[in-house]
Amino acid sequence: MIHSARAGAALRALREADPALAVLSLWCSHRDHDGPTETAGAVIRYGPGFVTLPLHEQVGLAGHHVLHVALQHSARMAAMQARLGEGFAADLWNIAADAIVNEVLVEAGHALPRPALTLTGLLAAAFDPSPLHGQALAEWDVERLYHRLADGTGAAGAGDKARAHAAAQGHGPDLRPAPGDEAAKAGDGTDSAADWRAHLARAMAAGAAAGFGIGRLGARLADLPQPRVPWEAVLRRLVQRATLPVPRQTMRRPGRAWLAQEAEARRHGGPVPVFQPGTLRQTDAPRIVLGLDCSTSIDTPRHARFLAELAGLARRGRAELHLLAFDTEVRVRLRLDPGGWSRQLAALDLPEGGGTDFRPLLAEAARLGPSALVVLTDLEGPAGDAPRFPVIWAVPDAPRPPSAPFGHVLSLAH
């Protein structure tokens, strides 16, 4: 929907320059305003500076914002902000989204105002060494890149390196969170999310048929919006399923069905039925054991996010939460208070380095009799035989998590 006098020439030129972007632009709303050019939800607002650019850069910049809309970066931003609350770093999300979009446009042959923040340049600056040229788009989506940057903040961390590199490229924020309804739809993978996947499929098909523009890159884009469920929700579901009360039989009292059958038999003078045991109600609180692999590069912010989610589960489900930090042996044993876990964690002196062996962890957890064991690890180490309780392996930054000898593998990349 075009209601922008400033963008008219660029959007008309886009029809010849890139069929896929031209198709996608038809589902965007284009407006003029007095601020910088930016995207919020499905609305692109063009500022006064847009018309000062040469036409080929206007085309590239319009394509940049069309891709933000099509890839639902604004709606996904709002969904991530809702998940993380005050811990969300909007500037790092903007940097990650802009780097991916600009990389797509550069590889498709479009011009951008220089200097331009690109994905390969950002990866080289934040995570030296960078991937081979052409591979980055197939490996990174905005959620995974954001988590890597946000979890690497601090002295000489990836987040600060990314900010410094973006500033050197003249980067400025151009992405705002979508309105609440759009964010909710992007977060649960329905409605507008499904619509945009269909729009993208049609647009990429048109671009591939033309043989130029972003349509040539469709199969290589890892950032295409997918109906992913956030790892916090998956973890919540798995742990709640594991901690559901399991009825147990008791010989101390008969079952209700037997009582009714026995009364009926006595009333009619018939034979007394065979005794049926009753059901014992579970009075003990479920117990969750958390294993922290301290031999890996899992840093403090990741530990904090993970523990916050598990503490919330323990608080809502009235479960006991036990922390076991380990490498080749269990080094730390601590029962966590759902209301004071952050203070307890801050006072901990967690070990670092060494190898990994899951067998002592599993043996220690078995002695606690857990409803579930959740292990934050990279899955590098011997595990032995499967225990009788459920095991959830939470693997950081793994879009394709490694296999586990048993249990459920949960990727924390999204």
SS3 readout for the chain: CECCCCCHHHHHHHHHHCHHHHHHHCCCEEEECCCCCEEECCEEEECHHHHHCCHHHHHHHHHHHHHHHHCCHHHHHHHHHHHHHHHCCHHHHHHHHHHHHHHHHHHCCCCCCCCCCCHHHHHHHHCCCCCCCCCHHHHCCHHHHHHHHHCCCCCCCHHHHHHHHHHHCCCCCCEECCCHHHHHHHHHCCCHHHHHHHHHHHHHHHHHHHCCHHHHHHHHCCCCCCCCCCHHHHHHHHHHHHCCCCCEEEEEEECHHHHHHHHHHHHHCCCCCCCCEEEECCCCCCEEEEEEECCCCCCHHHHHHHHHHHHHHHHHHCCEEEEEEECCCEEEEEEECCCCHHHHHHCCCCCCCCCCCHHHHHHHHHHHCCCEEEEECCCCCCCCCCCCCCEEEEECCCCCCCCCCCCEEEECCC
246-286 per-position pLDDT tens digit: 666 777 778 778 788 888 888 888 888 888 887 766 556 67
Question: Is residue 391, in this structure, part of any structural domain at all?
Answer: yes
Question: Is residue 358, in this structure, part of any structural domain at all?
Answer: yes
Say whether both 151 and 25 belong to one domain.
yes
Looking at 213, 237, 258, the residue that finishes a domain is: 213
Q: Which of 115, 84, 88 is nearest to 102 (CA)?
A: 115
Query: What is the average pLDDT across 298-323?
Result: 66
Instruction: Kindly report the backbone phi and psi dihedral angles of residue 262, in degrees, each rounded to the nearest multiple of 5, phi listed first.
Output: -65, -40
Question: Comparing 75-84, 135-144, 217-226, 360-369, which segment has the lowest mean pLDDT?
Answer: 217-226
Question: Is residue 234, in this structure, part of any structural domain at all?
Answer: no
Give the alpha-carbon dihedral of 57, 59, 65, 70, to 10 degrees.
-150
pLDDT given for residue 400 in this prediction: 61
pLDDT given for residue 18 in this prediction: 93
pLDDT given for residue 277 in this prediction: 81
Distance CA 190, CA 67 (A): 19
Say whether both 66 and 128 belong to one domain.
yes
Question: Is residue 232, in this structure, part of any structural domain at all?
Answer: no
pLDDT given for residue 46 in this prediction: 97
29 Cβ partners below 8 Å, 6+ apart?
1, 3, 42, 43, 44
Distance CA 181, CA 193 (A): 12
The domain that holds 373 is classified in CATH as 3.40.50.410
Looking at 165, 190, 213, the residue that finishes a domain is: 213
pLDDT given for residue 248 in this prediction: 67
Q: What is the CA radius of gyration of the chain?
A: 27
Looking at 257, 280, 303, the residue that finishes a domain is: 280
Question: Is residue 243, in this structure, part of any structural domain at all?
Answer: no
pLDDT given for residue 361 in this prediction: 94
% of the chain with per-residue pLDDT over 70: 78
Tokens of 56: 């080929």
Confidence of residue 191 (pLDDT cuts 50, 70, 90): very low
Say whether both 54 and 182 belong to one domain.
yes
Say whether both 393 and 268 belong to one domain.
no
Say whether both 203 and 331 belong to one domain.
no
> Hey, how many other C-beta atoms are within 10 angstroms of the C-beta on 39?
24
CA distances from 88 to 28, 93, 141, 146 (A): 27, 9, 17, 10
pLDDT given for residue 2 in this prediction: 60
pLDDT given for residue 150 in this prediction: 85
pLDDT given for residue 190 in this prediction: 38
pLDDT given for residue 249 in this prediction: 74
Question: How many domains does the chain fold into?
Answer: 3
Question: Is residue 301, in this structure, part of any structural domain at all?
Answer: yes
pLDDT given for residue 257 in this prediction: 82
pLDDT given for residue 278 in this prediction: 74
Q: Which of 60, 90, 77, 94 is nearest to 166 (CA)?
A: 94
Question: Comparing 71-75, 140-144, 293-297, which segment has the lowest mean pLDDT?
Answer: 293-297
Tokens of 340: 């004071």
Say whether both 40 and 120 belong to one domain.
yes
Say whether both 339 and 276 belong to one domain.
no
β-strands 320-326, 330-336: how paired? Answer: antiparallel
What is the domain range of residue 376? 287-411
CB 147 within 8 A of CB 413: yes
200-212 per-position pLDDT tens digit: 888 888 888 888 8
Distance CA 184, CA 169 (A): 33
| Length reported for the chain | 414
Say whether both 153 and 268 belong to one domain.
no
Distance CA 251, CA 82 (A): 50
Is the pLDDT assigned to residue 245 strictly greater than 80? no
180 Cβ partners below 8 Å, 6+ apart?
78
pLDDT given for residue 19 in this prediction: 92
59-69 per-position pLDDT tens digit: 999 999 999 99
Tokens of 207: 């671009």
Average pLDDT, whole number, for the chain?
A: 81
Tokens of 333: 């044993």
Query: What is the average pLDDT across 74-94?
Result: 88
Is the pLDDT assigned to residue 317 strictly greater than 60? no
Say whether both 178 and 136 belong to one domain.
yes
Say whether both 80 and 159 belong to one domain.
yes
pLDDT given for residue 175 in this prediction: 94
Say whether both 269 and 373 belong to one domain.
no
Query: What is the average pLDDT across 314-331?
Result: 79
8-19 per-position pLDDT tens digit: 999 999 989 999
Question: Is residue 242, in this structure, part of any structural domain at all?
Answer: no
Query: What is the average pLDDT across 283-300?
Result: 73
pLDDT given for residue 44 in this prediction: 96
pLDDT given for residue 192 in this prediction: 67
Is the pLDDT assigned to residue 388 strictly greater than 80? yes
pLDDT given for residue 250 in this prediction: 73
- The letter for the amino acid at 142 is V
Is the pLDDT assigned to residue 315 strictly greater than 70? no
% of the chain with per-residue pLDDT over 90: 34
Question: Is residue 228, in this structure, part of any structural domain at all?
Answer: no
Say whether both 188 and 125 belong to one domain.
yes
pLDDT given for residue 280 in this prediction: 65
Is the pLDDT assigned to residue 186 strictly greater than 50? no
